[in-house]
Structure 1
Amino acid sequence: KRFGKSEDISPAFVFLASADSDYITGQVLCVDGGYGMI
């Protein structure tokens, strides 16, 4: 187990800023490395 790094979450930000995410509205994108499943 480790703390997340900027390299871990930056792909999510890039995706959300891209045209690929144009159909996503009102969602919470949890980028926690699976920690929330514990």
Structure 2
Amino acid sequence: RAGQPAELAGAFVLLASELGSYMTGAVIPVTGGEIMI
């Protein structure tokens, strides 16, 4: 199933928060299930 907006919000909040400033060069694919294996 595709992810719901509320399920994706955590990743966006992390990246926008102070904790996100410690992340450098990381790739976090937030696709909401668009790319399913």
TM-score range, shorter chain: 0.5 to 0.7
Q: RMSD over aligned Cα, in angstroms?
A: 1.9
Name the TM-score, length of structure 1 as normaliser: 0.64
Ranked by relative contact order (alpha carbons within 8 Å, sequence separation 6 or more), the top structure is: 2
Aligned length: 34
Percent pairwise identity? 44
Q: Give the unaligned 5+ runs of structure 2.
A: none
Q: Give the unaligned 5+ runs of structure 1.
A: none
Flag as ranges the 4+ runs of structure 1 deviating above 4 A.
Answer: none
